[in-house]
Amino acid sequence: MELVKQARAHVSRLDLSAAQAARLDGQAHAARAVWNLLHAYFTFRQGRFAMLKDCDAAIRQARHEIDWMGQLPAQAVLKAYRQAWANFFNPDHPAGRPTFKARFRSRLAVDVPQARDLQIKRLNRRWGAVNLPKVGRVRFRWTKDLPGVTKGGPAGRITGARLVKDAYGWTIVFRVECEVPAPAQRSGPSVGIDRGVTVALALSDGTMREHGPWLSGGERERLRRLEKKAARQRRARTPGEPTSRRLARTNAQIAKARATAKRRALDWQHQTTTELATGFGVIVVEDLKVMNMVRSAKGTVEQPGTNVAQKAGLNRAIAGEAWGRTVTLLEYKTADRGGQVVKVPAPGTSQTCHECGYRDPGNRAGSVFACKNPVCGWVGHADTNGAINIVNAAGTAVSGRGDLAVGRSVKRQPPRAA
């Protein structure tokens, strides 16, 4: 049986004391400062990019001259910085160009590159313990067996970890590498998925995957009150003065409420994409440029935009659905099961009738699609029509990931009635 290496991440919540959390905060800010120094040295040194060996030498020298540089594995920051440039130059990777990290707009993170430093041990059914550099022994929530730690657990090894802070506190992300049997290739069934705002996911088989609000009515009202409270506190703050403790506390409460919504959205996406990857062998989606779709409509002083408020609301709705993350989850889950995600060109899928191929912007009115071709006259849900067009366009795929050949034509599906 052929075995393949599978790299995954396992996230667990850390149980830190106030002193340990403060030390991790200090390490994360130091790592951010090292990143910014590296970026300045790498991009502005004598008007050209510096060599990585020069960056490594500069870091080693700085660790002897600057005290706080010794409080974290600075070489790990260099490794992450180098990988960021590699992702940027990789045409198949969506990463942007590395830039400076702002203090209040960047996520705090500390990398632990060596797994041998962790010394992971399970304490009981619910908790495990791990060693963190410069912090000490820390408990973490045990939610899943880790390879190489417990007897009879999954085969594999832990290659390192990354500590990440969000509104709920610090978490540890274990980098896990396992050898699993190569999945058997699957050629079908195939399905097209139309991503939307009113309907989250519309499938070409006529079904839909929808969700309710991520926050309850009471939670949304509390978030609204907190945002109004923060606005009042910002207006009362004298420009140039540091943020008051009250405003910082209000901002933390807002961040926690939004993090709750994000966690629920991610949980729904994981469950839904797992169901789709298990049920279908070939999943066809549109090749959407989401970053271009959510650009602001304000325009410039010379050419101001129109319907700015409506476009801003649409941008928030698109960002809340996280269309790109949905495809990312589908790609690796279908590949694990021997399937494939195929991307097809997006233009025309929502305006073309799947029955007769007649294309007209007037075919669609909201969620209703009514073909203007007098010979056809098909009427049905607009998102379902778009999903059928998407799966029928699989032969013109622009990209594909999985065990099937990239760009391989998928058997076109016959038109389906509403």
- Residues labelled catalytic: 194, 286, 383
The span from the CA of 188 to the CA of 70, in Å, is 54
Judge whether 5 and 177 are in contact, CB under 8 Å: yes
Task: Say which DSSP state 304 is in.
Answer: B
Asked if the bond preceding 183 is cis, omega within 30° of 0, the reply is: no
- As beta bridge partners, residue 379 has 370
Distances in Å between the alpha carbon of 176 and those of 7, 10, 143, 179, 351?
6, 7, 14, 10, 45
Q: Scanning the structure block, which residue is given the tokens 């995954």?
A: 8
| Nearest Cα to Cα of residue 346 among 384, 415, 398 | 398
| Nearest Cα to Cα of residue 41 among 29, 56, 55, 30 | 55
Q: For residue 232, how many other CB atoms are within 10 A of its CB? A: 11
The span from the CA of 308 to the CA of 131, in Å, is 51
| Nearest Cα to Cα of residue 406 among 335, 350, 354, 311 | 335
According to DSSP H, which parts of 91-143 are helical? none
Q: For the sheet with 364-365, list strands across it.
A: 364-365, 368-370, 379-381
The span from the CA of 202 to the CA of 323, in Å, is 13
Judge whether 103 and 32 are in contact, CB under 8 Å: yes
- As beta bridge partners, residue 163 has 110, 172
Beta strands in 167-307 (DSSP E): 169-181, 190-195, 201-203, 208-209, 282-286
Rg of the chain (C-alpha set): 25
Return the structure tokens found at 348. Answer: 């025309």
The span from the CA of 107 to the CA of 115, in Å, is 23
| Nearest Cα to Cα of residue 146 among 118, 170, 114, 167 | 118
Return the structure tokens found at 371. Answer: 């073909």
Return the structure tokens found at 112. Answer: 């632990």
